[in-house]
Amino acid sequence: MVTLSQQAETVASKRYYLKDESGEPEETVRGLFQRVAEAIALSEIQYGKSNADTDLTQKEFYDMLSNLDFVPNSPTLMNAGTEQGTLSACFVLPLEDSMEDIMKTAHDIAMVQKFGGGTGFALSKLRPRGDHIKTTHGIACGPIQVLQTLSRVSSMITQGGKRDGANMAVMSIDHPDILEFINCKKVEGDIHNFNISVGVSSNFMKAVESDSEYPLINPHTNKIVGYLNAREVFSKIIYGAWRNGEPGIIFLDNINKDNHVKSQYGEMIATNPCGEQPLLANESCNLGSINLANFVDVKQIKPYIKWEDLKTTIKLATRFLDNVIDANYYATSDIEKMTKSTRKIGLGVMGFADMLTQLRVPYDSKEGRIIGNDVMKFIRTHADETSKELAEERGVFPAWHESDYSEDAKYRNACRLTVAPTGTISMFADTSSGIEPLFSLAYRKMNILEGETLFYVNKYFEQDAKELNFYSEDLMEHLSNGGLLKDRGEIPEDIKELYKTSPEISPESHVGMQAAFQEYCDSGISKTINFANDATIEDVHTAYIDAWKSGCKGITVYRAGSRDKEVLVTAHKTENNEQLNFFDEIETPISDEYFFAECCDSPRIAMESGCRTCKSCGWSACYIA
């Protein structure tokens, strides 16, 4: 019997269950998993499997899903078996330097986001603002105005009718308009549906270290048009990240080390909205995450990881994701052609912090990073092995023949692994997000339908608190209002270490964990390096340098309280923030109709889903895909 927590059932009801004409759910969680398992298993038939074998695979998929051992990305849960909507979450679209190409990209944004996908673009090929245009004798508006136009297009779309469009814009560090790009989101709310990142090379980072100049290159003429001091530009990036988390950085050389089809398709210069999936133009990638919290045996004196069970799930999930490529609906023919040429999949993880908790290992310990590295190595080994087995059964990905893979690396999928943020699906699985530490041990959400505030407590912490006799309503109130365990004298020291939350983890430990997983991840990793409000610009600088030197493919930081409207918060006060009694995981509104907040005297009905604004006080919050 499949059972969900109250929070998970709410997520499923609002996001995943099919609805009748009145908008009421018309399927249960069992129906959801049956629908998805059947739709994805049907791909087996086109590879010569019998109906009996396909039925067996369907049952294996169903069992894996219903145990919440593995959960695919939200579009697959929403759309599989409905014959409408994409099953993929991640897309990168080309953006070339002509009016026709820009308008085609705007059209493709609409088509992708109409059915639930998020999009990424590189602005790097667009000629700089003020450049002469021969065909019209006009002057180029520049990449930032194009970005603003694409943002307005995205604002018209609600993804699959269920969430706002989400995007990533990347600009190369050597573009003449790079300084304007770095500052294009300095005013909160500008270009609100885009994340931005700067694409940097190792040569630029070495120029930062040596405090030297680097060239700016006009992408239209390919000529050097000026020079900037690398350290000064890097400082502007750091200041923006410290100011409000924008821009992030993508290390292009690190990304393209795992681009095995460069000779055929060129460099990867952009990523999906959350940055974990570098892709070529018109590629898409379907993601799914293994719930690591389910693979710890706590019945023994010393808890341990159930490696054999994990291996079984890795192999089955890899097959599942390869099947999704064939079961998918593609918004454009170009996306279908490119996706089926490389057949990229993104197998990742969630529940890592909960795994460590059960193993009694603090997140910010050396042992924690070793476990993370070992787990990802294990997943890489068996995902690669399964992809080779699928290649023998079904054939290598078509672009393999022009790739730089060796004869002993005949893969079905050009890349196999991606660690996504898992905002919604981790709530659905009742586990921690991605490889992030715990954000909060206790928080509260106002259930406007029932007229009461509900308290949510981390289930592992609650169990320890009750078994060790320090559970109290006063403690829960303290934690749900942004308080920390370290401030409470009744809490044992080992418990304080074990249950450190994200704001208490040092930037070095955040980056160290990202690097531990990145070593064996052939794509990218979504990981936010969280800082306390009093973090310095130098702290952010150190994190960015450490990320580059440790081999990460990108980095995003966020300093608590640096935005007036935060997506993921517990109640707190800073010099910059008034108290906000709101908590919502990234990408998940708890309801498509109501906004849960105590932003004023009483909660108000939201003006719209997605980007919510209180009609009384104007306080708003947006979530991303």
Active-site annotation, residues = 272, 274, 276
| CA–CA distance, 269 with 599 (Å, rounded to integer) | 40
Amino acid identity of residue 377, one-letter, is K
Beta bridge partners of 613: 620
Q: How far apart are CA 52 and CA 142, in angstroms?
A: 58
Question: Burial level of 406, CB count in 10 A (0-12/13-18/19+)?
Answer: exposed
Q: Are 144 and 180 in contact (CB under 8 A)?
A: yes
Task: In whole angstroms, give the CA distance from residue 585 to residue 583.
Answer: 7
DSSP notation for 181-193 = HHTTT-STTTTTT
Collect all residues with Cβ–Cβ distance below 8 Å to 279 and sequence separation of at least 6: 90, 91, 92, 120, 268, 270, 271, 272, 285, 344
Amino acid, res. 241:
A
Q: Are strands 213-218 and 223-229 parallel, antiparallel or unpaired?
A: antiparallel
Q: Token pair of 2, please?
A: 């499949």
Q: Where are the alpha helices (DSSP H) in 395-458?
A: 423-428
Which position has the token pair 């700089």?
A: 128
Q: Among residues 341, 339, 348, 340, which one has the least CA distance to residue 284?
A: 339
DSSP 295: G
Cβ atoms within 10 Å, residue 306: 13
Residue 238, both tokens: 């750091």
Helix spans in 406-505 (H):
423-428, 459-467, 473-480, 493-498
Asked if residue 128 lies in contact with residue 218, where contact means CB atoms within 8 angstroms, the answer is yes
- The sign one gets for the Cα dihedral 182, 183, 188, 190 is negative
Report residue 369: phi and psi, to 5°.
Answer: -70, -35
Question: Which residue do the tokens 């350290």 mark?
Answer: 231
Residue 153 token pair: 């297009």
